[in-house]
Structure 1
Amino acid sequence: MNRRSLLLAAGAVGVTTAVGGAAAAIAADDPEAGRKSRPMLTWELTGGFVPAGWSALRAPRLVAYDDGVLIADAQKRLRVGAGEIRSLRNHATTVLRDPANAHRRQGAPMIADVPSTVFTARTNGRKFSLQFEGLEETRRDRAYPAAAYSLLDHCAQLRDRVNRSGAGFHPDAVRAIVVLLDAAQPTTATVPPWPAGVPVPRFRKDEFVTQLDLRDRQARALMRAVPRPEQPQWPVFKLPDGRRAQLNWRFLLPHE
């Protein structure tokens, strides 16, 4: 990533730190209640000190759907029984409906630049969500109530199971993340043109990070041009206007 991207990420971290220590609880009517592919539970990481573009590229660690499908990291999928989905829903709802479970213990140490964990559960037309700053990193210090770590363990066990035993998740739908490079930044390699068949991204004034959700033919064109790279390696392409941009992508989830 270029220096400008890193500076933007640093600014974003300050905002996350300011609000992450408080319980970010939601208990309200679920606006997605009528959607066919709505997730029953999501486990996500947000914020932390990451370069620009990484937050959009970072897929939820686990998504569970009402039909029993679990998807881990937007890479593996596994269908489980109704009993396991019911157990997960009941556990998550019990923890997340109580905002006290996201209150840090007084005197618990703060860890800078770590991401926040966000759990969201949906049941009976209602949505419950809590945010925990540095949940995994503060386990040894017991910064949060035991219920929070219990839900983390439950979700982590399911995620490990999906990644270990699940099938590959490869839909014809991707999220492309595009980051403009500074014009003055040197390059030693020949920069290829923007991939054919992939829409050219548009950037608003002073914007240098954007994303494109692509499906079907456009998604396949991107995947041909950029075979799934290792995430630290963001290929560079030349836009039609001559600017250079870094590009990466991940698979879109059914509800996105």
Structure 2
Amino acid sequence: MRLRTTLLVALLSLVTACGGGEPTATAAEPEKSAPATPVAVLRAEGGFVTASMNVLRAPRVVVYGDGLVIADAAYRMTIPEAEVTQTVDALRKYLTGQPPTATPKPGAPMVTDIPATVLAVAGDDGKLIEVRAEALDQVADFYPKELVEAKKLLDGLATKAADKKEAYTSDRVRVVAESVPTAEGKRTPWPAGVPEPSGQIDPVWQKDLTGAEVPALVKAAPPVPDAGLPIFETKSGVFVLSWRYLLPDE
């Protein structure tokens, strides 16, 4: 009996020394959220636009795999999974087999300085199938009707999102400053808490902001200014400032 008691005491001492006793919970590593995956996109590229507009130009509409739809980086809505599937299936039908750069039929009028339309849909492998068409709206009758229908479908989603008037916001923005040394109007000191333009500014300075920098920027330069772009002054010069919210996949 004494031997059994001695062995039991020794065993309990060993368990305690090795971290036994009260069970401890093991903290599980938090699951990383899956990156936002675009499954359909309508955007413009090129054309005669300002340098600032070129940097800040957002897609007309992006549809994500989870049903999120963002139009012009300004409005958002969520569509059902069934509608996402229908949209992707229709766009695959329209775009599969089209060349990466579509060309209008002979006889199309010459149109210059107009942005090209880029239509995209996720293929079976998840990679985007893209088709680019110059001046699609202006010479639609000279392009395959499938491209016109694809743009109509995506334009409809963008309009629907805008009509719902649910603003899209993010904790990440892209800001652009353009030097305007001779600009007329009220000049305001550069917003506190926002990085100032530095280095080469040719033709514009751009930077992606996050964290506390974002509310500081939004407060100083509202997304829809009432009287044109604000003019800010720093030790290095005078700038007009513009920005937009970044999309989840940017």
Same fold (TM over 0.5): yes
Q: What amino acid is aligned across from residue 133 of structure 1 in structure 2?
A: E
2:190 to 181, 194, 200: 194
Amino acid at match of 2:66: D
Change (3 A) 1:149 1:234: same
CA distance in 2 between counterparts of 1:210 and 1:143 reads 39
Question: Cα gap change, 1:232/1:111 in structure 2, threshold over 3 Å: closer, same or farther?
Answer: farther
SS of the equivalent of 1:83 reads helix
Residue type of the alignment partner of 1:173: R
Q: State the Cα distance separating 1:191 from its structure 2 match.
A: 1.8
The more displaced of 52-61 and 146-155 is: 52-61
For the residue of structure 2 that corresponds to 1:192, the secondary structure is strand
Structure 1 residues 231 and 173: alpha-carbon distance in aligned structure 2, compared to 1, 3 A threshold: farther
Give distance in 1, aligned partners of 2:146 and 2:103.
11
Computing the radius of gyration from Cα coordinates, the structure with the larger value is 2
Q: Which runs of 5+ in 1 are unaligned?
A: 1-33
Q: Look up the match of 2:58.
A: 59
Alignment of 1:203-222 (within 5 A): 203-204=199-200, 207-222=202-217
- Identify the range of structure 1 (38-47 vs 62-71) with the bigger mean alpha-carbon deviation: 38-47
Whether contact under 8 Å (1:231, 1:248) holds in the other structure is no
Match of 2:228 among 229, 233, 242: 233
SS in 2 for 1:158: helix
Structure 2 unpaired stretches of 5+: 1-32
Change (3 A) 1:203 1:161: same
Q: Which residue of 1 aligns with 2:113?
A: 113
Matched residue of 1:40: which SS?
strand
* Distance in 2 of aligned mates of 1:167 and 1:201: 32
- The equivalent residue for 2:128 is 127
Q: Deviation of residue 96 (structure 1)?
A: 2.7
Instruction: Give the AA of the match of 1:126.
Output: K
Q: CA deviation at 1:36?
A: 1.4
Offset of residue 188 of structure 1: 4.0
- Rounded to whole Å, the distance in 2 between the matches of 1:163 and 1:154 is 15
CA drift of 1:38 comes to 2.2
Which amino acid is 1:217 matched to? A
Q: What is the correspondence of 1:1-256 to structure 2 with a 5 Å cutoff?
A: 36-100=35-99, 102-123=102-123, 124-139=125-140, 142-181=141-180, 183=181, 185=182, 187-204=183-200, 207-230=202-225, 233-241=228-236, 243-256=237-250
Q: What is the rounded CA distance, in whole Å, between the counterparts of 1:218 and 1:135 in structure 2?
A: 39
The whole-number CA distance in structure 1 between the counterparts of 2:249 and 2:193 is 24
- How much identity, in percent, do the aligned residues show? 30
SS of alignment partner, residue 243 of structure 2: strand
